[in-house]
Structures are given as C-alpha cells and as structure tokens.
Amino acid sequence: MKNMLKVQDLWVSVGDRKVLKGVNFSMEYGEIHTLFGPNGAGKTSFMMTLMGFPKYRVEQGKIYFKGEDITGKDVHERAHLGLGISFQRPPTVRGVTLKKMIEIIADKELIKEEISETVKKLNLSGHLDRGLNDGFSGGEMKRSELLQLMVQRPDMVLIDEPESGVDIENIALVGEAINTLLGKDKVKDQKRGAIIITHTGYILDFVNTDKGYIIIDGNLVCGGNPRDILSEIKKHGYRRCVECR
C-alpha cells in the first residue's frame, strides 16, 4: 500500500537560512506521529513546507501525499487533496468572523447541527461573531484552530504545538478536541493521519501517538516510541540527541 505521506531528501530555505537539511519521512494511512525538538530546530518549517506556504522554498527533494507528488502544488490545492493545518501562532483576521470562516471552509456533507454541536463542545459558541482570533486567549485560539480542522474534515492534519500558550486547565480540553479530531470520521469512515509537534510533550498525556522523532538543526533523528523519547528528553534535555547525531 502507498504511504499517506512520504518525504524524500527535503532541503528547504526560508529567507537566507537553510531550515531543513535532507529530511526523509514516511507514514501510513491513519498513523499519528509526533515531532519533538528544541526551539528553532525546524519543526514549524517542516509543517509549513508540507502545507506549501511559499515563504518556505524547496531547494531539493519531493513530497508525496496519498501517492501524489505535491511538491509544486499551492496551499489550496493541498487543502483540496485533504491536508489541513493548525498553526502554532494563528494570525488575527479582523473583519472575518469565526462563523463566516466556518461557513467558507466546512465540508459540504457536514450538516448544520453537527457543526453547532462541535462549536458547543469546544466551548466557542460565544466567539462565533468575533473576528477570527481577535483578542482570543491562547486556549481559545487553539480550540478555534481545531474547530476549523474538524469542519474541514481533512484526511491528514498537521498540528503545530497545540499546547503552546494554553494554561494547564485548558490543555485537557485541547487534548480531548484532538482526540475527537483524530477519531474515526462518521462520514468518511476512516481515521485521520496526523503529525503533532510538541515542544513540552504535555499533549502526550491525552493523545496516543504511534511514533516519535526529534528534529535537530533541520534533520530528523532518533525515531522511536514517543513516550520513551519524551522521558529521555525530560531526563537529559536535547543535549544527548545533539551528541548522538
């Protein structure tokens, strides 16, 4: 069977900086992978490149999604193919309400009642008429990102640091939302694939993931059991990974 996602020898620059240096990566349909790594290692760059944001220039290498070469495709084309992203720092969009955004991006097979149920579950009913992320707290912003993914119904999601800027009480809510998002989709009858970036690893208390990797200086190293990796990082920091490399 084809991989859901396959990345071959990916080299990427942003500005005058090389951010990815020969990344190889693959995952099966419905798998959940976790990326760890110190600040500035290239985690966000990896996701933004997978999604196709033009600031991230692919110098070399290929990206295949569901067997199709998407390396040269635009963001909207990748979204139509079933790739979705939740940003580490989502932008504020004044003048476009959360409600309007949901109307625009929602999968047409999704019925209205299901959408409002999801909005309620994520505790965002009071935010529908506000500008997107306008004055939202860290937790509200992350929940709004996950809501948008839930209504888009992508086949695979890229989730960048879902716990960043979220206070401890709210991490459980974000974790539950991710579990719902990654559960079996009623309409599509399949599980979503996911890559979750975490700096702290807190999210692993709520979400079970299949495999983990560490990114150090633009390269993936030390693939393995995500919980083992996290406990090594907790014990030794990222120093060991740098030495190992």
Q: Which residues lie near ligand ADP (CB under 6 A)?
A: 14-15, 17, 19, 37, 39-45
Site string for Mg ion, 82-101 (x = CB under 5 A): ------x-------------
Residue closer to ligand ADP (CB basis): 42 or 175 = 42
Distances from the Cα of 144 to the Cαs of 52, 94, 154, in angstroms?
A: 22, 15, 16
Inter-residue contact 148 to 32 (CB < 8 Å): no
Residue closer to ligand ADP (CB basis): 106 or 195 = 195
40 binds, among ligand ADP, Mg ion, none (CB under 5 to 8 A by kind): ligand ADP
Instruction: Please report, in angstroms and rounded to a whole number, the separation of the first and last CA atoms in the chain.
Output: 31
Distances from the Cα of 48 to the Cαs of 40, 118, 121, 168, in angstroms?
A: 14, 26, 28, 27
15 binds, among Mg ion, ligand ADP, none (CB under 5 to 8 A by kind): ligand ADP
Q: Of 188, 133, 124, which is closest to residue 156 (Cα–Cα)?
A: 188
Pull the structure tokens for residue 214: 């560490």
Q: In one letter, which amino acid is 102?
A: I
Q: Of 205, 204, 222, which is closest to residue 213 (Cα–Cα)?
A: 222
Q: Nearest distance from residue 90's CB to ligand ADP, in Å?
A: 14
Give yes or no for residue 44 binding Mg ion (CB under 5 A): yes
Residues 165-224 that bind Mg ion (CB under 5 A): none
Distances from the Cα of 26 to the Cαs of 2, 8, 158, 174, 220, in angstroms?
A: 10, 9, 14, 26, 11
Q: Nearest distance from residue 43's CB to ligand ADP, in Å?
A: 3
229 binds, among ligand ADP, Mg ion, none (CB under 5 to 8 A by kind): none
Q: Nearest distance from residue 44's CB to Mg ion, in Å?
A: 3
Q: Nearest distance from residue 18's CB to ligand ADP, in Å?
A: 9
Q: Nearest distance from residue 86's CB to Mg ion, in Å?
A: 12
Sheet with 211-216, edge to edge strand ranges: 83-86, 156-160, 193-197, 32-36, 211-216, 219-224
- DSSP assignment of 221-245 equals EEEE-HHHHHHHHHHHTTHHHHHH-
142 binds, among Mg ion, ligand ADP, none (CB under 5 to 8 A by kind): none
Q: Nearest distance from residue 197's CB to ligand ADP, in Å?
A: 7
Residue closer to Mg ion (CB basis): 124 or 195 = 195
Name the closest residue to ligand ADP (Cβ): 15
Q: Nearest distance from residue 173's CB to ligand ADP, in Å?
A: 23
Neighbours of 95 (CB within 10 A): 8
Residue closer to Mg ion (CB basis): 56 or 106 = 56
Which residues are at the interface with Mg ion (CB under 5 A)?
43-44, 88
